[in-house]
């Protein structure tokens, strides 16, 4: 047997029920259509069993809508000589689970002694096909070591799947006969139909007894056979899913698709699946020599982004927790555009295009939100799902006392999200040169968002300037603040760039400019107004000190010595309480530094240093937001603070693998995964773009021997190879090989 390659495989050597939810997240597999958490086939109490399929949202109280956990394809009950295979009983003699990031194959080898003393070797494998995204497969090899007896397998599709107790599915029909089964079901409110068709095959040297149990909402296939000590049987379960989002007849599609698969299907599906994965990694792999932990953590992050990335669907996006857990209910935040999207923009622009198209298709939801709030244009929701309407819950149970409810204001006043979408559009446009997308989709978003900002700005008569009151910036420890620098700067940036875009259109594509003028009733006077607002937006910058005040009155808040609170294992918000943290200067994430990262032209070196020095010791790096550390790492790189950069980077890299915040069980921190890629490529690799194209100023951590990464610029793939000759050495740059 081949040992798992530590540069590519995440491996677990013991069964740890206490960390079950965490490892279920880590061992998630997927293919951009659906993802399945790393639960065991046989099922255990307190597991968080889930398969999520992009776009299958259904209504739910309080959080409005959530991704519905779909009927489970993994379920497999194994009876060994009459005893249930279950790790809670008997004794686990050997356990190893491994996820191969090269190809998304999840394997588990278990030697198990049953309560009666029978020892069996069970070898499980599963994958969600990247070449045939509707199809998932698992197989198990069972070898009794010290006994001969019967093996009985029950393989069903369970229509009773729920979201931690909440049921989304209503039964439409089912059948189980002749070696296969199907289940047809529908979400209760959104009325999305789903069909699953499954087949079970078994290779054995003895006779096989076949049965089908047509249990309501749980069709099941049963096989029985005899086994002698040392002999093996192989079982394969193949499941095909279609929904009414894919086709108007999902049941026909699923049954036909299954019927067309060879029996058994594994070998013929494995090869194209593996080839597709090879192609994926060819465009985006990152190699780090000299730091095995960073190496595997980076590949793990990229794998998580890849398995969540919609390849065939431009009406869905990646939620904050990808498709890997119940956290945030599948809702989409700015995490996608600012943290995850750059990875796709620079390695797989077609996926970035799909993700941006999701925002285009949901423009009407954003228009509705703006209108409902008394503004013009489009105000994108802080949390988004199927329609682009706001789905942030207004109240949620308090994290420390679940009998109390907490008002969530982000959906009302965390408004920078709309600018973030425009920012991501611009980044995509620059990197790809995809004029067509901007002409036919991006421009409309831009103009409508600019309109929103112009109508949201408030004129301050006393100071003759525009201001934005009552907002929340990226640092959510502070709400209801005025003139958050990040928000104001991005309102100005959007308006300025919308004007530039408009004049580019009128110069180069006057017919399209005219179409927008007509469709959106865009008049020269309105553009003039945008110009006026943009010029007069207040930006809280002190030229004397070079400091940006995060929001009005921030410097007057209580200063807290965070060092004095160490060691700690919880966030500042849980130590001081929501109101208490609001009164301090402690940040959940580095608001001003994020601004400086995204708009580097805003601050000169002196000012960047001043802001870094001021805000860094006031940020809750470990237990605040998982979005912060990667950005903090990039800013440290820019200031030449390699050691600090590495510390922040590893904080991001470990977010899920080491469950730093104790909540990885809720799903992968997708923004952190995307931030890890940015920290490597834009931070240590020093890739940056300007009007002349791309440049590299590498700043590798001293112990990294080499960094290699790929990116795509204007349709050309590049491989950057940076051997490390020490910090900032000119040789490091001269020696770097760039190949096409
Ligand atoms: O979008 C983030 C936000 O910036 C901080 N709280 C969690 C959200 C989802 O990850």
Give the bridge partners for 458, in sequence order: 467
Q: Is 476 known to be catalytic?
A: yes
- 664 Cα: distance to centroid of ligand 1 (angstroms): 14
- 474 Cα: distance to centroid of ligand 1 (angstroms): 8
Burial-class residue 107 by CB neighbours within 10 Å (0-12, 13-18, 19+).
middle
Rounded CA separation 504/506 (Å): 6
- 417 Cα: distance to centroid of ligand 1 (angstroms): 11
Is 15 assigned to a binding site? no
Question: Residue 460 CB: number of other CB atoms within 10 A?
Answer: 15
CA dihedral sign, ordered 651, 653, 657, 662: positive
Rounded CA separation 638/71 (Å): 48
**CA 374 and chain centroid, separation:** 32
Which of 304, 318, 320, 413 has most ligand 1 atoms within 8 Å of its beta carbon, as the pocket-test mutant? 320
Give, using CA atoms, the residue closest to atom 10 of ligand 1.
Answer: 320
Which of 476, 655, 666, 669 has most ligand 1 atoms within 8 Å of its beta carbon, as the pocket-test mutant? 476
Q: Tell me if 425 sits within 8 A of 355, measured CB to CB.
A: no
Q: Is 320 in the pocket of ligand 1 (CB under 6 A)?
A: yes
Q: Tell me if 6 sits within 8 A of 41, measured CB to CB.
A: no
What is the reported pLDDT for 1?
Answer: 59
- 394 Cα: distance to centroid of ligand 1 (angstroms): 15
Q: Is 671 in the pocket of ligand 1 (CB under 6 A)?
A: yes
Q: Is 474 in the pocket of ligand 1 (CB under 6 A)?
A: yes
Listed in sequence order, the residues at least 6 apart from 613 whose beta carbon sits closer than 8 Å to its beta carbon are: none
Check if 9-265 and 294-732 are the same fold. no
Is 588 assigned to a binding site? yes
Which of 627, 666, 668 has most ligand 1 atoms within 8 Å of its beta carbon, as the pocket-test mutant? 627
For the CA atoms of 622, 624, 626, 631, the dihedral, rounded to the nearest 10 degrees, stands at -80
Q: Tell me if 72 sits within 8 A of 81, measured CB to CB.
A: no
Q: Is 625 in the pocket of ligand 1 (CB under 6 A)?
A: yes
Residues of the chain with pLDDT under 50: 727-740
Q: 699 is written with which tokens? A: 């700043």
Q: Is 527 in the pocket of ligand 1 (CB under 6 A)?
A: no
- 625 Cα: distance to centroid of ligand 1 (angstroms): 7
* Of the candidates 338, 307, 348, 341, the residue with the CA atom closest to the CA atom of residue 324: 307
**Residue spans per domain, the chain:** 9-265, 294-732
CATH architecture, domain defined by 9-265? Distorted Sandwich (2.70)
Cα(first)–Cα(last) distance of the chain, in Å?
A: 37
The CATH number of 294-732, from 1.50.10.10, 3.40.50.2000, 3.40.50.720, 3.40.50.1980, is 1.50.10.10
Give, using CA atoms, the residue closest to atom 5 of ligand 1.
Answer: 625
Rounded CA separation 691/697 (Å): 16
What is the reported pLDDT for 728?
Answer: 42
* Of the candidates 677, 735, 734, the residue with the CA atom closest to the CA atom of residue 711: 677
Q: Is 420 in the pocket of ligand 1 (CB under 6 A)?
A: no
* Of the candidates 509, 470, 514, the residue with the CA atom closest to the CA atom of residue 488: 470
Q: 24 is written with which tokens? A: 């279920």
**Three-state DSSP state, 492:** helix
Please tell me which residue in 476, 566, 605, 731 is annotated as part of the active site. 476
Helix/strand/coil percent split, the chain, to 5: 40, 25, 35
Rounded CA separation 386/381 (Å): 11
- 732 Cα: distance to centroid of ligand 1 (angstroms): 37
70-82 pLDDT tens trace: 999 999 999 999 9
Rounded CA separation 653/675 (Å): 9
Q: Which atom of ligand 1 is closest in space to residue 328's alpha carbon?
A: 9
Give, using CA atoms, the residue closest to atom 4 of ligand 1.
Answer: 474
Is 589 assigned to a binding site? yes
Q: Tell me if 497 sits within 8 A of 599, measured CB to CB.
A: no
Give, using CA atoms, the residue closest to atom 9 of ligand 1.
Answer: 320
């Amino acid at each position: 047997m081949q040992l798992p390659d530590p540069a590519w495989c995440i491996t677990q050597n013991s069964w740890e029920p206490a960390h079950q939810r965490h490892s279920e997240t880590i061992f998630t597999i997927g293919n951009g259509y659906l993802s399945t958490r790393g639960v065991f086939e046989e099922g255990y109490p307190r597991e968080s069993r889930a398969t999520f399929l992009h776009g299958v949202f259904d209504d739910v109280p309080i959080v409005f809508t959530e991704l519905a956990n779909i009927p489970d394809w993994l379920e497999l009950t194994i009876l060994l000589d009459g005893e249930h295979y279950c790790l809670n009983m008997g004794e686990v003699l050997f356990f190893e689970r491994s996820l191969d990031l090269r190809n998304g194959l999840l394997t588990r080898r278990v030697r198990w002694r049953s309560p009666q003393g029978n020892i069996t070797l069970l070898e499980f494998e599963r994958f969600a096909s990247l070449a045939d995204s509707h199809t998932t497969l698992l197989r198990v090899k069972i070898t009794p070591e010290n006994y001969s007896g019967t093996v009985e397998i029950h393989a069903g599709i369970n229509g009773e799947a729920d979201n931690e107790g909440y049921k989304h599915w209503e039964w439409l029909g089912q059948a189980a006969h002749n070696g296969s089964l199907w289940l047809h079901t529908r979400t209760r409110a959104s009325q999305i139909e789903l069909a699953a068709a499954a087949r079970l095959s078994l290779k054995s040297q003895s006779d096989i007894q076949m049965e089908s149990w047509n249990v309501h909402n749980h069709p099941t296939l049963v096989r029985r056979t005899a086994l002698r000590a040392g002999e093996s049987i192989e079982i394969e379960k193949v499941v095909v899913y279609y929904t009414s989002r894919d086709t108007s007849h999902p049941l026909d599609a699923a049954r036909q698709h299954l019927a067309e698969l060879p029996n058994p299907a594994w070998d013929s599906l494995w090869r194209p699946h593996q080839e597709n994965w090879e192609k994926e990694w060819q465009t985006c792999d990152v190699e780090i020599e000299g730091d095995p932990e960073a190496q595997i953590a980076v590949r793990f992050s990229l794998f998580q982004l890849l398995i969540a990335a919609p390849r065939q669907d431009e009406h869905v996006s990646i939620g904050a927790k990808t498709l890997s857990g119940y956290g945030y209910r599948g809702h989409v935040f700015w995490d996608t555009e600012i943290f995850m999207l750059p990875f796709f923009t620079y390695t797989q622009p077609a996926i970035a295009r799909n993700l941006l198209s999701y925002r285009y298709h949901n423009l009407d939801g954003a228009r509705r939100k703006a209108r409902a709030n008394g503004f013009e244009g489009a105000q994108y929701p802080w949390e988004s799902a199927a329609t682009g309407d706001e789905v942030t819950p207004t109240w949620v149970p308090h994290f420390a006392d679940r009998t109390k409810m907490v008002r969530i204001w982000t959906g009302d006043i965390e408004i920078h999200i709309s600018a973030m979408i425009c920012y991501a559009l611009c980044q995509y446009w620059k990197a790809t040169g995809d004029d067509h997308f901007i002409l036919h989709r991006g421009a409309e978003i831009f103009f409508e968002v600019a309109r929103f900002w112009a109508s949201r700005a408030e004129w301050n008569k006393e100071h003759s300037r525009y201001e934005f009151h009552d907002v929340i910036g990226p640092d959510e420890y502070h709400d209801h603040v005025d003139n958050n620098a990040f928000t104001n700067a991005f309102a100005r940036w959007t308006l300025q760039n919308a004007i530039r875009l408009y004049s580019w259109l009128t110069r180069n594509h006057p017919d399209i400019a005219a179409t927008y003028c007509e469709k959106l009733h865009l008049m020269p006077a309105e553009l003039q107004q945008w110009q006026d607002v943009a010029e007069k937006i207040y930006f809280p910058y002190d030229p004397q000190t070079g400091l940006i005040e995060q929001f009005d009155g921030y410097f007057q808040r209580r200063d807290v010595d965070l060092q004095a609170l160490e060691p700690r294992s919880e966030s500042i918000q849980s130590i001081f309480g929501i109101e208490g943290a609001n009164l301090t200067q402690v940040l959940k994430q580095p608001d001003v530094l994020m601004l400086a990262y995204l708009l580097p032209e805003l601050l000169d070196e002196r000012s960047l240093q001043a802001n870094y020095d001021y805000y860094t010791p006031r940020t809750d790096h470990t237990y605040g937001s998982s979005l912060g550390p990667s950005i903090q790492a990039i800013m440290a790189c820019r200031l030449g603070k390699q050691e600090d950069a590495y510390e922040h980077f590893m904080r991001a890299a470990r977010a899920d693998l080491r469950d730093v915040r104790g909540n990885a069980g809720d799903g992968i921190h997708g923004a952190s995964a995307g931030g890890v890629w940015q920290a490597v490529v834009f931070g240590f690799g020093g890739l940056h773009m300007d009007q002349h194209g791309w440049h590299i100023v590498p700043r590798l951590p001293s112990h990294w021997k080499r960094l290699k990464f790929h990116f795509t610029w204007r349709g050309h793939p590049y491989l950057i190879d940076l051997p490390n000759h020490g910090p900032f050495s000119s040789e490091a740059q001269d020696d770097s090989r760039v190949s096409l």
